[in-house]
Each structure stands twice: as C-alpha cells, then as structure tokens.
Amino acid sequence: MDVLLAIELTILVLAAFLGFEVISKVPAMLHTPLMSGANFIHGIVIVGAILVLGKADDTFTRVVGLLALALATANVVGGWFVTDRMLGMFKRRPEPPRKDDA
Amino acid sequence: MIAALSQNTVNLAYLVAAVCFVVGIRMLSSPRTARVGNVVSAAGMIVAIVFTLLLESVDRYAFVLAGIAIGATIGAVGARTVRMTAMPQMVALLNGAGGGAAAGVAIAEFDRLTRFGGTPPGETAAAIVTSTVLGGLTLAGSVVAFGKLQELIRGRPIVFPGQQVVNALVFSAAVALAVISAPAGETWLLGLAFVVAAVFGVLFVLPIGGADMPVVIALLNAFSGLGAVGAGFVLDNNALIIGGALVGASGTLLTLLMAKAMNRSVANVLFGAFGQIQTSLGERGEVEGTVRATTPHDVAVQLSYSRKVIIVPGYGMAVAQAQHDIGALADLLAEQGVDVKYAIHPVAGRMPGHMNVLLAEAQVPYSQLYEMERINPEFPQADVALVIGANDVTNPAANTDPASPIYGMPILEVDKAASVVVLKRSMNPGFSGIDNDLYLDPKTTMLFGDARESVLHLITAMKDQ
Amino acid sequence: MSAELITSLTVFVLAAFLGFELIRRVPTLLHTPLMSGTNAISGIVIVGAILVGGAAGATTLEGAVSFVAIVLATINVVGGFLVTDRMLGMFRRRRSENE
C-alpha cells in the first residue's frame, strides 16, 4: 500500500466529518444556494485539470485535459455567480414601521 | 517485537482511533448517548496504543508496559475514589499530567535527535519548543490550580507589584532557552526551559482568584491538547495531532464560553486579578438596609405553601457537600405537589458544568436542571427562590449598578421571584469580595449556617409539620 | 517547509475546525464530563511516549524522561475515561432509573 494513502484517507475522513457537521447547520431555506455553492467548491477539480495539462505530452491528453479544464472552469464561474445571484435575493425583512411613537 | 507492523498499517489504525474520538465526542452532545460515547473514545485510545506497541520500531516492552501499569493504577484509583465535589481538582491534575507527558515526549525526542551531535530541523525544533513550554506551564499551572481548589493555597488572588512584567520576563526566558537549545543541541538547555516554563505556570495561575477557576481549568485543558499537537508535529504523528486538536478546540471553546458567562474578556480574567478592583473600590460606605435572618421552621412553612420553588445552587453547596440533602428536600417538596426546578449558572462552582455533576450524583434527574437562559423567564412565577451557597451569580448589581465590578455579567434573576431565601454561612461577601444587595432586598430572608446543616434542619422542620 | 509539515498542518486545521463544530453541540449540562472526557483524549500523547521511549537504543536519559511521560499520559487516559464514565453513570432522566 502506498505510504501516502493512509495520510490521504485521514484527511478525507476528517474533511467528511467536518463537512457533515458544518452542512447540517445550514437552514432548509438556504438549501438551494448550498447546493450550487458546494457545486462551485467542487470546481476545485480545476487544479487537477491544470496539473494534467501541464504534464500532457500527446494530443489525446491535451484534448481531454483541455475539455476537463473548460468544464471545471464553467463549474467554478457558473457555480459562484449563480449562488451569488440567489443569495442577493435573500433580503432581510425591511424594518417594520414604528407603531405608536407617542 | 511481537508483530512488527509497518508504519502504514499503524497510520490506518490511528485513523480508526481518530474516528472513534470524533464519534465519541459527537455522542457527548446528549446525556442519553454520552456514556456510550465515552466508551467509543476509550476504544479508540486502546486501538491507538495497541497498534503503536505492535509497530516494528517499538522494542522495549517491559519498560513501556511498566510505565502503563503504574499510570493505569494511579489513574484508576484516583478516578474511583475522587469525590464528586473534588472533580475540578481531579480534572486540573489530569490536565497537568497530559501537559507533562507532552513535554516529556518533546524532550526525549530532542535528546534522540541530538544524540550524535546533530540538531533538529527548524520546524521540528519549533514544535519541540511549543510542546516543552506549553507542557511545563500546563503541568505547574495545573498543580497550583489544584492547590487552590483543594485550599492548600490561598484562594484569593495573590498579587505583587510589577507582577505582569515579571511574568512576561519569565515566559520570554522559557521560550528563549528552548529556542537556543535547538542550534546548541543541548538537552539540558531544553530541560532548563521546561523548568522556567513551569515557574511561569506557577506565577501565571497564582494571581487568579478561586471564582475564576472555571476559565483557568478550561484554558489549561486547551493547553494540554495543544501540547499533544506540538508533540504530534515533533513526531509527524497524525493520531497526536488529531486527538490534541480536538482537545484544544474543546478547551478553547469552553474558555470563551466561561469568560462570556462572566461578561469579561479572557485577558481580563487571566491578567486582571479579580479582587484587586474591589479592595480599592470596596469601601463604598456603610451598606444601607437591614438583613432579615429567619429560622428553618419559617422557611419550611414558606416552602410547603409554595407552588413553585427554584433552587439556585452555588459553590457553597459543593463545599458543604449538601447536594444529597438538597435532593432529599426537593423530593419532599415534590411529594407535596410543589414544582421544583434547579437554576444552573454557567460559572457556578469551580469548573464548567460543576453543579450538574453534583446534582446528578444526588440522583436529581437532569430534566430538572435548567440553564440560565431557560430558567430566567420563570423566576417571576416562582414563589420562592432558594439560593444555596451561590452569591455573585445572583447579585442584581450586575444588572443595575454600572459601578459594580461584575456589571454586565449575566445573572440568575432570583430577585424577580416573589420571595428569596438565602442559605449562607455568614454575611462575608462572596469569593469576588463584592457586597450583594440581594440580601438587603425586603423580600429576601437569610438562613445562616453551614448549607448542609441548614438543609437538614429544613427537612426536619418540613417533616414535623 | 517540508511536505510532512504541510500535511500535518492540513490534518491539524481540519481536526481543529471539526473539534469546534463538535463541541459546540455539547449542552452545558455535560460540560464537566466533556472536559474530563476530552482530557482523556489528550492522553493520546502516550503514543508519542511509547514511540520515543520504546525504540531500541534509547539512552538512559531518554528512557527516564519517556518513562515519566508514559506514566503521566496513562494517568491521563485511564483516570480521564474512568472518571467520565463514573460521572455519566450518574446522569439519569428520571429518579427511578438504575435504582
């Protein structure tokens, strides 16, 4: 077994528990932006695409790598903007007018 | 060696241990699952220890097992015999043991790394400095905290002029010694750093008053965890890093919660030397109003004709070991149809959650124990607020008197109850040394004497009716 | 910075955040058992003491220091878990339970 595997598994498990704890506190009202926001984070795969492209030395790898890069970028950009747009629509209730000032 | 497992297999076992710790702490969030959670955490610890012993590099079994046997005996006897009222002392000592162990690991590893005239690499050295200094200060600070809680050392703040400066110098000296020990490759320098850090630990805790102990214990808890993290960085060991980080987070969070419950910053608690302010501010003229002393018989009558009684326990209950008798009194009241609840202030007692443990020992069901936020709205409906050995956490000056040193601290609003009965040893002010105007309130009556004896008298008087 | 250090830092930061999230859920009712229970977990440093002191070829000084560390850490582990168990055994929902 790869030496790194145990360490990577450790990080995976810790992050999974942390994700569970953090996400379980998000109110139902925000579940849609949560999904699109999480989708944006998933775009971190862009880093992998860049790494692969950087090492690519044949056409096939380059094409597939470029495709991956384009998709990941779409994920990052689209995910972030759509989340931001949605969240912009969640406004606090305007201050209710004071009733009796007397 | 028995099994000679590879580092890789053992790392996977550490992952299992870490998952056990996480799940165990998660289960601590409900009293129903908490006990099983504690067993899950312990199982994780056993996995970590057993797999470490099976690691190919570990050879000296007799030596290691002897250490474990001695420690396990001390720990088990201590845990079985400690009285629930002495739990803060116990936890203080356990914190100290954890800190001392972390420093020991760092020092021994430093010696190994420098054995043949080598020096540890920079980042390892930084981790060694951290765990040695944190460990020394946690060990000595915990022993002083223990001494204060056990009343071997004066509980009131011990202060002298220029204390802050001296403390800062001692701390810097400890760090400096530890830092220069690395390029020098001299273990004795690191050992000296450990000793100086211990001196700092003593100086650091000495000026902190008894009532601030919940913050100190929580902080030392965080330090013992961070010491383990440091040792984990020294050895590049994930089990230590994860276990230590969980404890560090727990201690830090509790420290902040306790400070918040006193409406003071952590820095103010640690460096403010509570009690100093009052000695300069304390002589604010003769107290106006009179204190009404009462008899057990009168209180018994008052209690039995109540519909709702809220009991407010404080450190005085722990000192007098009165929790069992209070439980019995509450039972008597419940039999007569009185609605009895307990109001628990977050910093009542000498450590986080101290009162809950004592009342649990007295077999009070936890459904009757109410946190401050939940019980405060109920005081206006209570016929009697029965204050037993609590003082500062009931002082209305925290809400009303901007000049009071505890102004702004959230309190249990006992003064909202129809009447207040205070069980108190004498008219001496509480640990913080502040007068409590609650005692002069016309609806307050005082029952003087040892809390336990007073409660016993109350029980007799109730039965005689 | 070495690769090990960065990995260790990643693990530390993740565990610290996870710790905060977990502990925030614990009610004040259980703060004392929480402290003693997590205290026992900080006894994980026993693993480090075994690794350093148990290795063949440790010098007398290293042996002595790690022996003390093993004893202290075991006190922490055993004392912490047992005392937590004792406390938690006393928390009951109704008065009639476990009697």
Looking at the fold, whether B316 and B460 belong to one and the same domain comes out as yes
Question: Residue B266: how many CB atoms within 10 A of its CB?
Answer: 17
In this prediction, residue C46 carries a pLDDT of 95
- Note the Cα B331 to chain centre separation in Å: 29
The verdict on whether B236 is a catalytic residue reads no
pLDDT of C73 higher than 90: yes
In this prediction, residue B348 carries a pLDDT of 85
Looking at the fold, whether B59 and B30 belong to one and the same domain comes out as yes
Inside any domain, residue A60: yes
Q: What is the pLDDT of residues B156-166, one digit of tens each?
A: 677 777 888 88
Q: Evaluate the CA torsion angle B382, B384, B388, B392 in order and state its sign.
A: positive
Domain boundary among B27, B54, B81: B81
In this prediction, residue A94 carries a pLDDT of 60
Amino acid at site C31: H
Q: What is the pLDDT of residues B256-278, one digit of tens each?
A: 988 888 888 888 877 765 444 44
Domain that holds residue B420: 296-464
- Average confidence (pLDDT) over A3-15: 83
ipTM: 0.88
The confidence band for A61, taking pLDDT boundaries of 50, 70 and 90, is confident
Q: Evaluate the CA torsion angle B39, B367, B359, B396 in order and state its sign.
A: positive
H/E stretch holding B292 reads none
In this prediction, residue B275 carries a pLDDT of 43
Q: Which of residues 35-54 of C touch B (CB under 8 A)?
A: 35-54
Q: Which of residues 387-446 of B touch C (CB under 8 A)?
A: none
Looking at the fold, whether B303 and B370 belong to one and the same domain comes out as yes
Most confident of B22-26, B275-279, B405-409, B460-464: B22-26
Q: How many separate domains does chain B show?
A: 3
In this prediction, residue B281 carries a pLDDT of 38
B83 touches chain C (CB under 8 A): no
Average pLDDT taken over every residue of chain B? 87
Cα gap A38→A40, rounded to integer Å? 5
Straight-line distance from the first to the last Cα atom of chain B, in angstroms, rounded to the nearest whole number: 74
Inside any domain, residue B283: no
Most confident of B128-132, B389-393, B446-450: B128-132
Domain that holds residue A52: 31-88
Inside any domain, residue A19: no
* Nearest chain B Cα distance for residue A26, angstroms: 18
Cα gap B416→B431, rounded to integer Å? 24
Looking at the fold, whether B407 and B309 belong to one and the same domain comes out as yes
Q: Evaluate the CA torsion angle B301, B302, B306, B312 in order and state its sign.
A: negative
Question: From B26, which residue of chain A is nearest by alpha-carbon distance?
Answer: A21
- Average confidence (pLDDT) over B396-400: 86
Q: What is the pLDDT of residues C13-70, one digit of tens each?
A: 999 999 999 998 898 889 999 999 999 999 999 999 999 998 888 888 999 999 999 9
Amino acid at site B396: P
Q: What is the pLDDT of residues B194-225, one digit of tens each?
A: 999 999 999 999 888 777 888 899 999 999 99
In this prediction, residue B289 carries a pLDDT of 64
Q: Evaluate the CA torsion angle B72, B76, B82, B84 in order and state its sign.
A: positive
